[in-house]
Structure 1
């Protein structure tokens, strides 16, 4: 079993699925609405009433495209192109200074990556998926600056495992953040250990609302996150 252990690859790649930043809040949605009223960019969108629902339509279309795709693995090149187009459209509706938007906080499922093997490495490749079944990829953003990534998987369908990372978020500008992660922690069966050293990643927030968050890594990979408490 040691020959197929995923730990080094997961550790090196899981950090690419994190982004966020901001300030604490008790009622994110209410603060977000008032934030939109103060934002010129959002006001311009609201002025054209027929376009108000367009972000919702795009969000639903994007989710319908990626949710059954094994986080992008099953999509064709044309499908990835269409996803990228929808991401660009939604980016036009992003609030100003998204790092300050309280809606970034919460628990998020990673539902898509334009480079499907990026969050997980070789174990997410065609060969790796024969041995490892990804059960969930989750990112938790806690105010004011904590990021937690978690990948749960099973080996050959009967050995459960989990890799987790905890990091501190630093705001670089209105859209870009940097996350510095501590050593990854691994759980495979009854075994628990830490592996490797610190790592860091820079990410851009492209869009955020009550249901979805979009981001782009420093190497250009696109990520789609869906909020976990949205049915």
Structure 2
């Protein structure tokens, strides 16, 4: 296992590390169907009824979020998104961003906690060209803005029957009220911990956040859409 983990760490270091209840409704049924169409186990993806069943804020903002999440559902976090799909999601994300109720997102308590990544244009995170590192199950990102730290957590399955936890811890250095530099500190692959090199850096701008949805832009122009992982604790120690 250690030799496999070392190989995985080598792959990780060569990868772009940009970075992370109401009754049933039509939208929730779409999410359920999407889950059935994949081999991934059910996760703590926030159910759309909980996001929109008790709408807070304007109906315009709620509708914009609904449209964005509906467009994302069949795209396997962006892995199967065509250029046309990406253009549609980008347009809908911009619509949501314009309605951001918390423009100083890093100082909002809503930014903290565990989030699940439901869409990204970052093919390195999705490992589209590297199936060995492809996420198996959900991808989580934990944020502790007051503590200036973040954690990306997921599982990978490099070979059948071997599912390994993979985490990356990071230190945050805010540059604006919504943006922060990200210095990755440590990789954990299974039992192996490796200090991240200085070059393992990124930056993000949190362009939308409320108690349900977060939209983030990466330093390489990538888009990230996350939903609150309801009822789940962060992995911070």
Question: After TM superposition, is the score higher than 0.5?
Answer: yes
Q: Distance in 2 between matches of 1:4 and 1:72?
A: 28
Displacement after TM superposition at 1:141 (Å)? 1.0
- 1:109 is matched with 116
- Under a length normalisation based on structure 2, what TM-score does the superposition of the two structures give? 0.71
- 1:34 is matched with none
- Under a length normalisation based on structure 1, what TM-score does the superposition of the two structures give? 0.72
Q: 71, 89, 96: which is aligned to 1:90?
A: 96
Q: 177, 182, 188: which is aligned to 2:180?
A: 177
* Secondary structure of residue in 2 paired with 1:93: coil
Displacement after TM superposition at 1:142 (Å)? 2.1
1:75 aligns with 2:81: yes
Confirm or deny: 8 A CA contact 1:14 1:149 kept in the other structure: no
Confirm or deny: 8 A CA contact 1:11 1:163 kept in the other structure: no
RMSD of aligned Cα (Å): 2.7
Which segments of 5 or more consecutive residues in structure 2 lack a partner in the other structure? 21-56, 232-237
- 2:170 is matched with 167
* Secondary structure of residue in 2 paired with 1:150: strand
Q: Distance in 2 between matches of 1:210 and 1:52?
A: 14
Which segments of 5 or more consecutive residues in structure 1 lack a partner in the other structure? 19-50
1:197 aligns with 2:204: no
* Secondary structure of residue in 2 paired with 1:74: coil
Q: 44, 54, 59: which is aligned to 2:60?
A: 54
* Secondary structure of residue in 1 paired with 2:186: coil
Confirm or deny: 8 A CA contact 2:135 2:156 kept in the other structure: yes
Displacement after TM superposition at 1:177 (Å)? 0.7
Displacement after TM superposition at 1:68 (Å)? 3.6
Displacement after TM superposition at 1:12 (Å)? 5.1
Q: Distance in 1 between matches of 2:6 and 2:134?
A: 9
Q: Distance in 1 between matches of 2:11 and 2:72?
A: 24
* Secondary structure of residue in 2 paired with 1:201: strand
Q: Distance in 1 between matches of 2:164 and 2:149?
A: 23
Check 1:213–1:107 CA distance in 2 against 1; reply closer, same or farther (3 A cut). same
1:7 aligns with 2:9: yes
Check 1:60–1:137 CA distance in 2 against 1; reply closer, same or farther (3 A cut). same
Q: Please identify, of 82-91 and 69-78, the stretch whose mean Cα deviation from structure 2 is larger.
A: 69-78
Displacement after TM superposition at 1:57 (Å)? 1.3
1:149 aligns with 2:156: no
Q: Distance in 1 between matches of 2:166 and 2:99?
A: 34
